[in-house]
Structure 1
Amino acid sequence: MTATPTSDETPSVSIADEDYGALRAAAAVWAGTSVLITDRRGRVLIERVGYRDTCLLPGGAVDKGESPAHAAARELREELGITMSLDRGLAVDWVSAAGVEARPALRFPGEVLHVFDGGTWGDEEIAAIRPRAGEIEAVEFVEPARLPELMSPDNARRALSALRARVNAAGPALLEDGLPITPTVLDRAGILRAARARHHFPFHTGPVPEHLAVCQAWGWLFAPDGRVLVLLEPDTGAACLPGGTPEPQDSGDPQATLRREALEEAAARFDEPLLLGHLTDPGEPHIRLRYAAALTRLGFPPVDPATGRTHLRILATPEQALELFDWGEPAAEQLAAVHQARTRLAIPRALPQPVTELADDAFILW
C-alpha cells in the first residue's frame, strides 16, 4: 500500500491521477483580483457598492478557467465600463480567514488575490467611467491616507501596500493579509498613511519678487545617479525635501537657510545651488523658493533640533518623490524645472529603480 503524500510533497509515480487531483482539490482556495488606479494627483479610485458598507477597489472573483489578468480586465469593463488590458502586477496577497474575519457561513478557505496596476488616469479616462447600475453606487478618487477610514482593514492594507510597491518600482510585492513579507523602507516608514501636505501653489520660474518675503527654501539635492534626497518623518512617514524656514542667523540669505536646514535635518552638504523658481501662496505676502544642487557629502543622520526626531533618508527619482506629495497641477512645471537644472548640473537622468534607504551607519562622500 502506497502512502498518500501531503499537499506540499511531490506526488510519487504510484499515486493515481484521480487521487492526486482529489488531494489538491481538497486544498483549493479562492482566487480574486483588484485594480489600483490613481488620478494625476495620486488619489486612489474607490467604488461605493450597494452590498457592503465599506468601499472597494475595482475587481472581483476569478471565474473558472480564467486568468487573473483577464478577470481584472473583465471586472473593470463590467463595473466601470472601461476596456483596457492589464499586464503589470503590483502585489499578490495571501488572504487568510483570520485576515478578513470571514463569517463562518462563507466557509472561506483562503484566497490568492492579485492586484494589477490600472495606471494614472487623466480627465478623458475619468470622464469615460460608466458605473454599473445596481452595483456601483459611486466612484471617487480619495487621498491614500483615507483608505483605512473608507475600506475594510484588509482591503486598506492591501491597497496601501500595492501603492507603495508601485512607487518603489521594484516589481510585485508578496503579501500576507495585506502586509509585505519583505517590507521596504516605504512600508516600514508607512508612507501615504498620513495625509500628504496639500500645496497647490502656482510655480514661477521668473525673477523673485523683491516685495515678498521668503518663508521657505527647499532643495532638490541630487546624488550622482540623478536621484534626489527625500526625508521621511519617522512617526508618520510624511515626506519632505531638505530645507525649511529662515532663521535670524541666516541674515536674510535663502541659500544660507537651505544649507543650515539641510545640515540640521540630514547632515547634507551640497555645491552651489541653482534657483529653480518660487511658489506664491495666494493672499499671503510671501513666497517659497525652490533650488537644485549636487550633493557633495552626507554624514551620519542627525537629530533635527526643530523636531527632536531623526528623519529617515532615502534616494528616489524626482518622479518617485513627487508621488509622495500633493502639489497639484503646478507639480508638473516644477518637475520640468528640476530636470532643466539637472541638465545644467551635468547630472544624468535617474533610471526607474527602487528607492534606497541611506543607512544609519552610512557616510557617503561624492
Structure 2
Amino acid sequence: MTTTSAPDEQPSVAMNDEAYGALRASHALWAGTSVLITNQRGQVLLQRVTYRPTRLLPGGALDHGESPAQGAARELEEELGVTATVTRGLAIDWVSPAGRTTPPAMRFPGELLHVFDGGVWDDNQIAAIRPRPGEIDGIDFVEPAELPALMSPGDARRALSALRARINGAGPVFLEDGLPIAPTVLDRVGILRTARARHHLGFHPGRVPDGLPVRQSRAWAFAPDGRVLVLLEPDTGAACLPGGTPEPEDGRDTVATVIRGARDKAAAQLTDTRYLGYLSDPDTLCAHVRYAAALTRLGPVPVDPATGRTHIRVLATPEQTLELFDWGLPAADQLTAVHQARARFGIPRAARQPLTELPDATDLTIL
C-alpha cells in the first residue's frame, strides 16, 4: 500500500505506510497549552511555581490523545482549582528547538503551544482560586510591561503577543518563538511593552469647580463608523487620546486646547465638540477634562511641535481604547458617558475589530 509523498520529497515518489509513519514521527513536536487571564484592570495572571525561577501562565503539556482546549481546562482545574471551559484561541506558537532553554538530556524537539483566552476575571472569580499545593506557590496579577522581567524571554513574548491579539480582536495569531509572523500595528509599535498610564481618577459629569486648574483637555474623537482616534508614541508604545495641556494661546478655553492639540499632534479635524465631564486628581488638585467630538478628516502625519515625535494614528473601539490604559474601575463611568455622546451624534456602536492604522491623509466621512 502506498500513501501520498512526504512534503520534502518529489510528488512522484511513493512511500509505504510504515516508512511514511516513521518519517512523520521523526518530525514530531511536543504539544502544550496555556491560558491568558486578566483582571478588570487588564493585569495578567501569572503563577509562581516551585520548579522554575520564572513565572508562568496557567498551562502545561497535553496528555496523550487530549485536545489543546481540553488540556487548557484540565490545567486550570489542576493548577488553580477552577472549573472553566475555554473556547477562544489567541495564539499558536511554534517554539523552535533553539527557542527554549532545556537540559540536553531532554532532547527538546520543538513544541506547538496553544494560548487560549481565559477572559477577564472579577473579584469573586479571583477569590475562588485555590493554587495546587506543592506545585503552585501562588498567583499574582501583574502589569503587561512587567512580563519580560518575570517570565522567560520566549514566554513573555508569547504572552504579550497573545494579549495584543486579544485587544486587536482578529482571531488567533500564528507565532514563531513568541513573535507573530504577520505583525499588526500593535506588535510593530510594541504596545504594552512599557507601563500603561495609570490614572484611577473619579469621573464627574458636571462642570469643573471654580478654582480647580485644568491640567489636560482631551477628546474621544469619533469616526463615522463608531471607533475613536488613539495616538501611539512610536518609541514607547504609550497611548493617548488627542488633545493636550492648556497653553496661553488657548485663552483658558478647554475646547480650544482640544482642537489645537488634535491638530498639532494628529492633524485631526474635530467638529461638534461636546463636554463629557472631568477627572479629579486629589494628589495634585487639578482636573483632566474630557470631550466627545466628531472626527471628520486627518491630514498628513505631523511632527508634534512639543516633542518632535510623529505619533502613530489608529482607530479603535472605545472598549479597545480602555485596554491600552490603566484607568481602573472608575473608567466604566467615563465609558458610559462616551457611549451616551456617541448615541447623540447618531453614530453606530462599533463591533470589536482589528485596530486600523491611518498613516496618510484620510477623509473619514467615507467610513
Q: TM-score, normalization: structure 2?
A: 0.96
Q: CA deviation at 1:215?
A: 1.0
Aligned to 1:362: 361
Q: CA deviation at 1:351?
A: 1.5
Aligned to 1:256: 256
Give per-residue Cα distances to partners, 1:261-305, cap 9 Å, x unaligned: 100100001112111110001143321100000012210110001
Q: CA deviation at 1:197?
A: 1.1
Q: CA deviation at 1:206?
A: 1.9
- Between the aligned partners of 1:287 and 1:181, the Cα distance in structure 2 is 43
Give the counterpart letter for 2:62 in structure 1: V
Q: Is contact 2:54-2:150 (8 Å) kept?
A: yes
Q: Is contact 1:32-1:111 (8 Å) kept?
A: yes
Give the counterpart letter for 1:244 in structure 2: G
- Between the aligned partners of 1:29 and 1:167, the Cα distance in structure 2 is 29
Aligned to 2:265: 265
- Between the aligned partners of 2:258 and 2:105, the Cα distance in structure 1 is 61
Aligned to 1:25: 25
- Counterparts of 1:140-289 in structure 2, within 5 Å, are 140-289=140-289
Q: CA deviation at 1:20?
A: 1.5
Give the counterpart letter for 1:273 in structure 2: T
Give per-residue Cα distances to partners, 1:123-165, cap 9 Å, x unaligned: 0100000000000001010000000000000000000000000
Classify 1:3/1:286 alpha carbon distance in 2 versus 1 (closer, same or farther; 3 Å).
Answer: closer
- Between the aligned partners of 1:94 and 1:203, the Cα distance in structure 2 is 44
- Between the aligned partners of 1:11 and 1:337, the Cα distance in structure 2 is 63
Aligned to 1:100: 100
Q: TM-score, normalization: structure 1?
A: 0.96
Q: CA deviation at 1:352?
A: 1.5
- Between the aligned partners of 1:285 and 1:13, the Cα distance in structure 2 is 78
Q: CA deviation at 1:3?
A: 12
Contiguous gaps of at least 5 residues in structure 2? none
Give per-residue Cα distances to partners, 1:61-102, cap 9 Å, x unaligned: 011111000001100110000111111000000000111133
Q: CA deviation at 1:49?
A: 0.3
- Counterparts of 1:78-93 in structure 2, within 5 Å, are 78-93=78-93
Q: Is contact 1:196-1:324 (8 Å) kept?
A: yes
Q: Answer yes or no: is 1:350 the counterpart of 2:337.
A: no
**Structure 1 segments (4+ residues) deviating >3 Å:** 2-14
Q: Is contact 2:232-2:311 (8 Å) kept?
A: yes
Q: CA deviation at 1:26?
A: 1.2
Give the counterpart letter for 2:361 in structure 1: A
Give the counterpart letter for 1:72 in structure 2: A
- Between the aligned partners of 2:306 and 2:266, the Cα distance in structure 1 is 12
Q: CA deviation at 1:8?
A: 4.3
Classify 1:365/1:50 alpha carbon distance in 2 versus 1 (closer, same or farther; 3 Å).
Answer: closer
**2:347 aligned counterpart, secondary structure:** coil
- Between the aligned partners of 1:57 and 1:12, the Cα distance in structure 2 is 46
Classify 1:4/1:123 alpha carbon distance in 2 versus 1 (closer, same or farther; 3 Å).
Answer: closer
Give per-residue Cα distances to partners, 1:176-235, cap 9 Å, x unaligned: 000000000000000000000110011111232122111110100000000000000000
- Between the aligned partners of 1:272 and 1:213, the Cα distance in structure 2 is 24
Q: Is contact 1:11-1:20 (8 Å) kept?
A: no
Classify 1:365/1:80 alpha carbon distance in 2 versus 1 (closer, same or farther; 3 Å).
Answer: closer
- Between the aligned partners of 1:148 and 1:314, the Cα distance in structure 2 is 26
Q: CA deviation at 1:9?
A: 5.1
**2:38 aligned counterpart, secondary structure:** strand
Q: Is contact 1:7-1:23 (8 Å) kept?
A: no
Contiguous gaps of at least 5 residues in structure 1? none
Q: CA deviation at 1:14?
A: 4.9
Classify 1:355/1:106 alpha carbon distance in 2 versus 1 (closer, same or farther; 3 Å).
Answer: same
**2:314 aligned counterpart, secondary structure:** strand
Give per-residue Cα distances to partners, 1:6-39, cap 9 Å, x unaligned: 4545987953222211111111100000100000
Q: Answer yes or no: is 1:119 the counterpart of 2:143.
A: no
Give the counterpart letter for 1:245 in structure 2: T
Give the counterpart letter for 2:217 in structure 1: A
Classify 1:83/1:9 alpha carbon distance in 2 versus 1 (closer, same or farther; 3 Å).
Answer: farther
Q: CA deviation at 1:314?
A: 0.2
- Between the aligned partners of 2:165 and 2:4, the Cα distance in structure 1 is 40
Aligned to 1:321: 321
- Between the aligned partners of 1:262 and 1:14, the Cα distance in structure 2 is 65
- Between the aligned partners of 2:324 and 2:148, the Cα distance in structure 1 is 18
Q: Answer yes or no: is 1:341 the counterpart of 2:341.
A: yes
Root mean square deviation, CA, Å: 1.7
Q: Is contact 1:7-1:27 (8 Å) kept?
A: no
Give the counterpart letter for 1:105 in structure 2: A
Aligned to 1:330: 330
- Between the aligned partners of 2:142 and 2:12, the Cα distance in structure 1 is 52
**1:272 aligned counterpart, secondary structure:** strand
Q: Is contact 2:36-2:117 (8 Å) kept?
A: yes
Give the counterpart letter for 1:92 in structure 2: I
